């Protein structure tokens, strides 16, 4: 179920350990991954991606603020939020305006599922 087509993914997390682990995990699945330590760093270099995996709790702009700014600029890029302090429950998309959300620690299958849902949701809305 987790064998999906290779995607271009971006991870934004201020915790270097989490960044490194996610990059390693996603690469082992065959995806291309770029990582950033903050929303500002990503905004400074907004690479094209199929999905953003963003930590909610970030220094400076937080995850929600980054999403809002992207949407304001007209970007419909799929986003999966990850959060370390409970936060919104997985799959609760309405509260975050249709955004996927995962509580750390999460299983790789949950992550792939969330990414898949986010990407396909974008495609559905686009069609």
Among positions 61-90, residues that touch other proteins (CB under 8 A) are: 62, 82, 84-86
Nearer to other proteins, 46 or 84 (CB): 84
Complex with other proteins: residue 19 or 50, whichever CB lies closer: 19
80, 111 contact by CB (below 8 A)? yes
Interatomic CA distance for residues 32 and 10, integer angstroms: 8
Q: Which of 97, 105 has the CB closer to other proteins?
A: 105
> Which x/- pattern, by CB under 8 A, does the window 21-40 give for other proteins?
xx-xx-xxx-----------
34 phi/psi in degrees, rounded to 5: -120, 140
Strands in the chain per DSSP E: 8-12, 32-36, 51-55, 79-83, 100-103
Q: Is 121 in the site for other proteins (CB under 8 A)?
A: no
* Region of 16-24, 39-47, 69-77, 118-126 interacting with other proteins (CB under 8 A): 16-24
Regarding 57 and contact with other proteins (CB under 8 A), the answer is: yes
Q: Which of helix, strand or coil describes residue 42?
A: helix
From the list 77, 106, 117, 121, which residue makes contact with other proteins (rule: CB under 8 A)? 106
Burial 36-58 (b: 16+ CB within 10 A, else e): bbbbeebbeeeeebbbbbbbbeb
C-beta closer to other proteins: residue 60 or 76: 60
């Amino acid at each position: 179920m987790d064998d999906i087509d290779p995607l271009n993914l971006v991870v934004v997390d201020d915790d270097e350990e989490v960044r490194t682990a996610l990059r390693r995990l996603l690469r082992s699945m065959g995806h291309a991954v770029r990582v950033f330590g903050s929303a500002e760093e990503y905004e400074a270099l907004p690479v094209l991606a199929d999905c953003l995996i963003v930590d909610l709790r970030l220094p400076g702009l937080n995850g929600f603020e980054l999403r809002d700014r992207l949407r304001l600029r007209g970007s419909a890029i799929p986003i999966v939020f990850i959060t370390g302090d409970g936060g919104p429950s997985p799959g609760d998309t309405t509260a975050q305006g249709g955004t996927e959300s995962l509580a750390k620690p999460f299983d790789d299958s949950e992550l792939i599922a969330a990414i898949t849902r986010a990407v396909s949701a974008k495609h559905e809305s686009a069609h």
